[in-house]
Amino acid sequence: MTDGLITVFGGTGFLGRAIVRELLEAGHGVRIAARTPRWPDNVADGDPLSLVSADIRDEASVTQALVGASGAVNAVSLYVESRRLTFDTIHVEGAERVARLAREASITRLVHISGIGVDEQSSSRYVSARARGEAAVLSAFPKATLLRPSVLFGPGDAFLSTLEKLTRLPAIPLFGHGETRLQPVHVKDVARAVEKVMGPRPPAWRLFELGGENVMRYRDILSLVMAHLRREHPLVPVPWPVWRVLTTLLSPLPSPPLTHDQLVLMAQDNIVNPQVGTFTDLGIIPHSLRESLPGCLVVD
Ligand SMILES: NC(=O)c1ccc[n+]([C@@H]2O[C@H](COP(=O)([O-])OP(=O)(O)OC[C@H]3O[C@@H](n4cnc5c(N)ncnc54)[C@H](OP(=O)(O)O)[C@@H]3O)[C@@H](O)[C@H]2O)c1
């Protein structure tokens, strides 16, 4: 179906880079679209790869990025908003723009990357914008495929590298009692899912939730990371109201280490709903976090 070119918006990001690699390995032509596009590290001579400058806030550059493409992926992110750049601008208006212009460009297959836990009613502006973004995408491009991953891990990720830093502390603060359940998923598995969706047959589901092999409590993930790094420090429960005060105090910073939106995400389980499409429907067996740790975090 998408034998031709696939434009990957956000193709220089953590997930975007893995998607680009997976699509190239499957024989697709790929165009990386980002505000500052860069060649991937592992590009090989003859890879059918090109770069284009595109900002999903700008109609003309998105149109240009889609010229001649038969597939498109939106893997653009914004995790912390500012007065100048809001979640709505990227996750609702930008997402709608990519979907609408993809449809106008007669793109056959559009994959929109979202996240588990989206909820229009959420007190988190991020979580709510993601839900409205999904609706806007489906309204503009009804046959789009939505992929909602759980938290991503892999070499050079933000998740395990943050936990690694935390495990250097003499005592490791938990969100509440650390009971929130997560289903960390290898970035490569999500990239493989994108490639499968771009395959010859249309996917069986419009919506997929993608989680790793195991559902784990946050505290158990920390213990696993500590065991791998051969560190041993106590896990200390910290009540949620204390975190809420902390995120309020940190909020004036230009780049706060923890935001209200991240706290809301950490307060709810982030696990796959088996009522929608999953890795099983795509024939993918996800990597295990435990077995992947040596490839992700170097032991001192
Ligand atoms: N990381 C996770 O654990 C996780 C979990 C669940 C879901 N997701 C979702 O996966 C997607 C990718 O996340 P990520 O962590 O890979 O993001 P990331 O590493 O922060 O990469 C973001 C990408 O978006 C591009 N970008 C940002 N603003 C843009 C704009 N206005 N126009 C065009 N491109 C823009 C960036 O390049 P430039 O800055 O050069 O434009 C970069 O290529 C997001 O939808 C995210 O919500 C991620």
CA 72 to centroid of ligand 1, rounded, Å: 15
2 pLDDT exceeds 80? no
pLDDT score of 4: 85
Q: 178, 219 in Cβ contact below 8 A?
A: yes
Mean pLDDT of 259-276: 96
5 contacts 29 by C-beta, under 8 angstroms: yes
Asked whether 77 lines ligand 1 (CB < 6 A), one says yes
Task: Judge if the beta carbon of residue 10 lies within 6 A of ligand 1.
Answer: yes
Tell me what the mean pLDDT of segment 25-49 comes to: 94
Q: Residue with the nearest Cα to atom 47 of ligand 1? A: 77
Predicted confidence band at 263 (pLDDT cuts at 50, 70, 90)?
Answer: very high
Q: Is the CB of 127 under 6 A from ligand 1?
A: no
* Region of poorest pLDDT, from 3-7, 89-93, 96-100: 3-7
Average pLDDT, the chain: 96
> Ligand 1 in contact with 117 (CB < 6 A)?
no
Whether residue 44 is predicted with pLDDT greater than 90 in this model: the reply is: no
Domains defined along the chain, listed by start: 5-153+184-213+270-286 (3.40.50.720)
For residue 77, the CA-to-ligand 1 centroid distance in Å is 3
- What Rg, from alpha-carbon coordinates, does the chain have? 19
Residue 213: pLDDT over 90: yes
Partners of 72 in the β-ladder: 7, 110
Dist. CA 217 → ligand 1 center (Å): 26
Structure confidence at residue 42 as a pLDDT band (50, 70, 90): confident
- What does the alpha-carbon distance between residue 155 and residue 161 come to, in Å, rounded to a whole number? 9
Whether ligand 1 lies within 6 angstroms of the CB of 116 is answered as: no
User: Is the minimum distance from the CB of 18 to ligand 1 under 6 angstroms?
Assistant: no
pLDDT confidence band for 177 (50 / 70 / 90): very high
Residue 1 has pLDDT above 70, yes or no: no
Q: pLDDT at position 3, please?
A: 61
Mean pLDDT of 247-259: 92
Instruction: Decide whether any atom of ligand 1 lies within 6 Å of the 111 Cβ.
Output: no
45 φ/ψ angles, rounded to the nearest 5 degrees: -55, 135
Residues 6+ apart with CB under 8 A from 17: 11, 40
Q: Do 56 and 98 form a contact (C-beta atoms < 8 A)? A: yes
- Name the residue at shortest CA distance from atom 36 of ligand 1: 10
Contact 153, 286 (CB under 8 A): no
Looking from the CA of residue 38, the nearest atom of ligand 1 is 40
Mean pLDDT, residues 69-84 taken together: 95
H or E stretch covering 22 = helix 14-25
Q: What is the largest CA-CA distance in the chain?
A: 56
At 270, the amino acid letter reads N
Interval 49-68: pLDDT, tens: 999 999 999 999 999 999 99
Task: Scan for tokens 């999903």, then name that residue.
Answer: 56
Q: Residue range 229-234: average pLDDT?
A: 97
Ligand 1 atom at minimum distance from 114 CA: 45
